[in-house]
Structure 1
Amino acid sequence: MLKSMGQLFFSSGLQNPKFTAQQSKGEDYEIRTYHTTNWVSTSVTGMEQDPAFNTGFRRLFKYIQGNNDKKCKVEMTAPVTCMIDPGAGPACESTFTTSFFIPEEHQADPPKPTDADAFIENRKELTVFVRTYGGFTNSESSREELLKLMESLKRDGMKFKEAPFYRAGYDSPFKLTNRRNEVWLIKDEEEKA
């Protein structure tokens, strides 16, 4: 029952990492604490977010298609996250780490990537501020939504880290309507709850 409700809520029918919702001061964002989980990840450095994300996505798609030490297909999950760690200056390369959540059945012993550029990431518990938006996303729209999230958090006196930040997508590129995208800012844990 709960799983079917979650699938209906997230609309994709794909497995999602578990989180605990926190009380939010604003109506225009959520606060989630994601539990410790394993993800398969790959990092790409570059100047442009969209080509780096596409490169990372293709690498990880090969992993779930069987490019791993167990040569097994791994179920697609959602969201696909991209952690953006901006370079030190305007002409500096940023690091884009694209990640797929490892499905529950592989969490305890994830297949190891055979691509040297992919790795298993044990993501520790993480509290993030989340802004959800629709449509097809790109670096420009995710940046606009990130700025709106920052404004909301400043309005409410919430403490957050400006970098790195996440962009998250829940839908196949073939889904044309009712798309779900998110931007995440990491809660600054110096703040006492």
Structure 2
Amino acid sequence: MMENSPRLLMAVIGALCLVGVCKAVESPVYTVAHLESEFEIRLYTQSTWMSASVPFIISFEKATRIGYHRLFQYIQGANLNCSRIALTVPVLTSIVPEAGPLHSSAYFVRFYLPLKFQADPPSPLPELNLKPYVWDSHYVAVRKFSGFARDRNIVKQAEKLAASLSRSPWANCTSSESDYAYSIAQYSSPFKFVGRVNEVWVDIVGSGLEGCKPSSIATY
């Protein structure tokens, strides 16, 4: 019986794939322009996201929950086409530090639209206060980290990325034109407790080899 267990497991996995459970999850397209042990530089192609603004909230975790709740309603059919939209990764929360009173921050929580809807996203219901966001082709510096993305650890991860960049050809290449300091990309389901994947993203000007503008990664 034990000898048949691996075959039984593979059969179950195969059956699940046939009914769509193993269907690949779409994500934005990029190429790796540079790779180091602590970070990498990616070149993302132009992409369209649906964006939820969450102003004047101190907590990154609370802002992400509020924004994603509105986005989840949108992909479940709360749009003028009543279209159901497949889940994608990552959920991206961009942070604008000290944008409001009492040093509170503003956030943009973004959902990457599947290829089917990239050119013509369904219009969200007005009460959701969502807007499409077209992200032009751009370079991004990325640092990966595990566990849950929390208020207590995201700033430290951003600081580690800044420190790594300061020792690289991209030391003076973080974008001064960006509307936010950095972003946190979350790839894992909230029900997954082991092997979680998160990333810190910061926009980079140019390739890092020439034409960089002096700037710095702001944290809050």
- TM-score of the two chains, using structure 2 as the length reference: 0.76
Residue 123 of structure 1 and its aligned partner are, at CA, apart by: 1.3
Q: Does 1:139 align with 2:151?
A: yes
Distance between the aligned counterparts of 2:64 and 2:100, measured in 1? 20
CA contact (8 A) 2:89 2:187 kept: yes
Aligned to 1:184: 201
Residue identity matched to 2:40: E
Distance between the aligned counterparts of 2:160 and 2:192, measured in 1? 25
RMSD: 2.2
CA offsets, 1:74-93, max 9 Å, x none? 00000010110112589333
CA contact (8 A) 1:28 1:152 kept: yes
- For structure 2, the residue ranges without an aligned partner over 5 or more in a row are 1-21, 212-220
CA contact (8 A) 1:69 1:112 kept: yes
CA offsets, 1:115-163, max 9 Å, x none? 4411111111121100011111112211111111110000114121484
Aligned residues: 182
Higher relative contact order (CA 8 A, sep 6+): 1
CA spacing shift, 1:88–1:73, aligned 2, 3 Å: closer
- For structure 1, the residue ranges without an aligned partner over 5 or more in a row are 1-10
Aligned to 1:5: none
Residue 60 of structure 1 and its aligned partner are, at CA, apart by: 0.2
Counterpart among 145, 164, 174 of residue 181 in structure 2 = 164
Name the one with the larger strand percent: 1
Distance between the aligned counterparts of 1:13 and 1:149, measured in 2? 29
Residue 68 of structure 1 and its aligned partner are, at CA, apart by: 0.6
4+ residue runs of structure 1 moved beyond 6 angstroms?
A: none
Structure (1 or 2) with the larger CA radius of gyration:
2
Distance between the aligned counterparts of 1:60 and 1:102, measured in 2? 11
CA contact (8 A) 2:145 2:197 kept: yes
Distance between the aligned counterparts of 2:30 and 2:65, measured in 1? 26
CA contact (8 A) 1:12 1:171 kept: no
Identical-pair percentage:
32
Q: Does 1:151 align with 2:163?
A: yes
